[in-house]
Amino acid sequence: MKFSDIPGHESEKRRLREMVDSDRLPHALLLQGPSGTGKMMLARALAQYLHCTSRTPEGDSCGTCPSCIQHQTFNSIDTHFSFPVLKNGISAVTSDDWIAEWRDFLTESPYMDFALWLSRLKNDNGQPRIFVSEADSIIHKLQFTTHHNNYKVVILWLPERMNPECANSLLKIIEEPYPDTRIIMVSDHPGEILPTIYSRLQRIDVKRLPDDLVTRWLLDNYEGLSEPDARSLARLADGSILRAASEAAMTKESQMFLDLFIRLMRLAYQRDIARLKAWSGEAAALGRETLRKFLAYSQRMVRENFIMNLHVDSLNYLNRAEWEFSARFSPFITTDNVIRLINLLAGADTDIAGNANAKVVMLDVAVKSILLLKHK
């Protein structure tokens, strides 16, 4: 992984390059920030740059020296990956037990989709951790001298998932590191890292990606996606490639939610109780989790329609289909009913989460929407 392979983050790249070039790379570094922004790619590029024997004048690894080739094939003998795993019946499990799955994961998901990693671990409901046996393995590896490079590198993904025993075991080598060792940690939730570890790390904040960059990524990776829809999805993604991909993959589900929302609003406006009763049965049949997602979607649509009345297009986060409906519907969402509509939908979500009868709850939403839409 070269720095030039990573979209955006020019200031972070420059800072990392300068640390290496001036021989001031800290012994324990933390790249912290939102998921899906490319922190692991920066960590991988940093390790490759550190080991590269023919760095370019532009400040990047060459990509062709033996060290770079080893990095690009995940075979750098002086680079060790550490990451959360599941025990699955193994008492002293380490990252090495999952290294084949890890290499496939890095190739398939450079932005580090945690849900995909769970599937690689063959347990979508598991709670991966970094166990004390992993700390023992890292300490053992770092006792040996380097093989081909000046530095040994440990890249540790999600230090917030270290259990306390593991964190305490690693504390000593973070406080008193080997002179030829550099530890690079990558965290989505730095506030969850054990404070004694966190306080000893030099930290670099990796910011959200610009909307224009996320838009371009979507257009490059999703054939048939229009530029207006890509821009809308990018804004919804809040600077995360992972969230943008998730939003793009949900297009079919979002279309279903939009259809349900449109029919609810139209039937409520028409006061068509019989068809609203049928609608509530259809909505209830989605199942609890999908229904809750629909209710969250509906709350967003109410907010977006209210904001549309301000006539500032840059404030709206709607795709093309949503925009076409909202352009006609937004006048019906006013200061008189916006809060009550959102509270109605939020209350329904709470009831559904509490295992209330979904059909009764959704019929209640439908009937009360009649009154709220007429209140202008």
Mind listing the pLDDT tens digit for each residue in 115-155?
889 889 987 667 899 999 999 999 999 988 877 778 999 99
Domain count, the chain: 3
* Range with lowest mean pLDDT among 135-149, 257-271, 293-307: 135-149
Task: Check whether residue 12 and residue 117 sit in a common domain.
Answer: yes
71: left (phi over 0), alpha (psi -120 to 50) or beta: alpha
Task: Check whether residue 8 and residue 155 sit in a common domain.
Answer: yes
Q: What is the average pLDDT across 345-360?
A: 95
Task: Check whether residue 19 and residue 133 sit in a common domain.
Answer: yes
- Residue 74 corresponds to which tokens in the numbers above? 């995940």
Q: Which domain holds residue 195?
A: 3-207
State whether residue 35 is helix, strand or coil: coil
- Residue 201 corresponds to which tokens in the numbers above? 């790390």
* Range with lowest mean pLDDT among 254-263, 268-277, 306-315: 306-315
Task: Check whether residue 229 and residue 264 sit in a common domain.
Answer: no
Residue type, 259: D
Q: Is the pLDDT of residue 268 over 90?
A: yes
Q: What is the average pLDDT across 210-236?
A: 88
pLDDT band at 177 (very low <50, low <70, confident <90, very high): confident
Task: Check whether residue 71 and residue 38 sit in a common domain.
Answer: yes
Q: What is the mean pLDDT of the chain?
A: 92
* CATH number of 202's domain: 3.40.50.300
Helix runs in 121-176, H state only = 132-142, 164-175
* Range with lowest mean pLDDT among 2-16, 75-89, 238-252, 268-282: 238-252
Task: Check whether residue 260 and residue 361 sit in a common domain.
Answer: yes
Task: Check whether residue 274 and residue 245 sit in a common domain.
Answer: no
Mind listing the pLDDT tens digit for each residue in 91-113?
789 999 999 999 999 999 999 99
Number of alpha carbons in the 13 Å side-chain half-sphere of residue 315:
10
Please give the helix or strand (H or E) that residue 366 lies within, else none.
helix 358-374
The pLDDT value given to residue 376: 47
Task: Check whether residue 161 and residue 262 sit in a common domain.
Answer: no
- Residue 132 corresponds to which tokens in the numbers above? 């004390």
pLDDT band at 52 (very low <50, low <70, confident <90, very high): very high
* CATH number of 271's domain: 1.20.272
Task: Check whether residue 29 and residue 147 sit in a common domain.
Answer: yes
CB-based contact 115:188 (threshold 8 Å): no
More confident residue, 146 or 197: 197
Stated pTM of the model: 0.71
- Distance from CA of residue 353 to its chain's centroid? 24
**In the chain, which ranges are E strands?**
28-32, 79-82, 152-157, 181-187, 202-205
Q: How many Å apart are CA 364 and CA 358, to the nearest integer?
A: 10
Task: Check whether residue 231 and residue 278 sit in a common domain.
Answer: no
- Residue 80 corresponds to which tokens in the numbers above? 């060790």
Q: How many Å apart are CA 373 and CA 376, to the nearest integer?
A: 7
Task: Check whether residue 231 and residue 271 sit in a common domain.
Answer: no
Task: Check whether residue 322 and residue 289 sit in a common domain.
Answer: yes
Q: How many Å apart are CA 274 and CA 53, to the nearest integer?
A: 74
Q: Residues with Cβ < 8 Å from 251, sequence gap 6 or more?
A: none
